Amino acid sequence: MDRPDQIAKEATTFFQRQAETNHRQMNTIINAHSQELLDDFSQTISRLVIQAQHLQKESGKKAIKYFSVAYLRSSIITKTYELQFSLLDKSYFADLVECCVYCGVNPLTSHIETKYAAFLTAMKKNVMQLHAYEVDGLWREQILKDCNDVMKPFFAKHIKRIAEVSGIGNLSLADEVLFVFGGYMDRCVRLGSRRSS
């Protein structure tokens, strides 16, 4: 077995052993800090709506068709663990007038960093002279999956209400606004929709 295969095998074994515990811990953190997260997201989305109002008046931003909540792969490298909230027209990510804001998931940050340290330590025990760069890609993929698994139901439950309270109804909207969650410029899932009255 060559080195990349050995590293991948060891990482898979580690992730499989830790998956249930990690999801449970992340869900516990989300539940314990749900009001803090809701407050942070509400403030962020309020700023987003204000930005969109300005862009619709001054820059010709078209009617909003998509409300996107996207995780950013780059934020794992920078250790900021940010989400991007975007209001997009029917062109989706080809929208010519960008309207987005960023918000971290601070309650999860220290947990994620602790899990990374445990992962790296375990991997170094099983793979000779392992360097962090050899496993960082595997770690990024796994932590995105784990964060997705816990944040998707949170947003599915709360995003429409937060958007309404933040004033999305004051914007020029398409007949149906779709709320989506996933990776920036990557796969997304539909969380729900808002139809114009």
Q: Are the C-beta atoms of residues 186 and 68 closer than 8 Å to each other? A: no
**Is 78's pLDDT higher than 90?**
no
Query: For 112-167, what is each residue's pLDDT tens digit?
Result: 989 999 999 999 999 999 999 999 999 988 988 888 889 999 999 999 999 999 99
Q: What is the pLDDT of residue 145?
A: 87
- Classify 86 as helix, strand or coil: strand
- Classify 188 as helix, strand or coil: strand
**Is 185's pLDDT higher than 80?**
no
- Classify 63 as helix, strand or coil: coil
Q: What is the pLDDT of residue 24?
A: 93
46 or 73: which leads in pLDDT: 46
**Is 197's pLDDT higher than 70?**
no
Question: For a pLDDT cut of 70, what percent of the chain falls above it?
Answer: 99
* Neighbour count for residue 169 (Cβ, 10 Å): 14
Question: For a pLDDT cut of 90, what percent of the chain falls above it?
Answer: 72
C-alpha 196 chain-centroid distance: 27
Q: Are the C-beta atoms of residues 180 and 67 closer than 8 Å to each other? A: yes
Q: What is the pLDDT of residue 186?
A: 78
Q: Enumerate helices (H) and strands (E) in the chain, giving the number of each.
A: 5, 5
**Is 33's pLDDT higher than 90?**
yes
**Is 47's pLDDT higher than 80?**
yes
- Mean pLDDT value of segment 177-192: 89
**Is 75's pLDDT higher than 90?**
no
Q: What is the pLDDT of residue 43?
A: 96
- Mean pLDDT value of segment 13-39: 93
Mean pLDDT score across all residues of the chain: 92
Query: For 81-107, what is each residue's pLDDT tens digit?
Result: 899 999 999 998 889 999 999 998 888
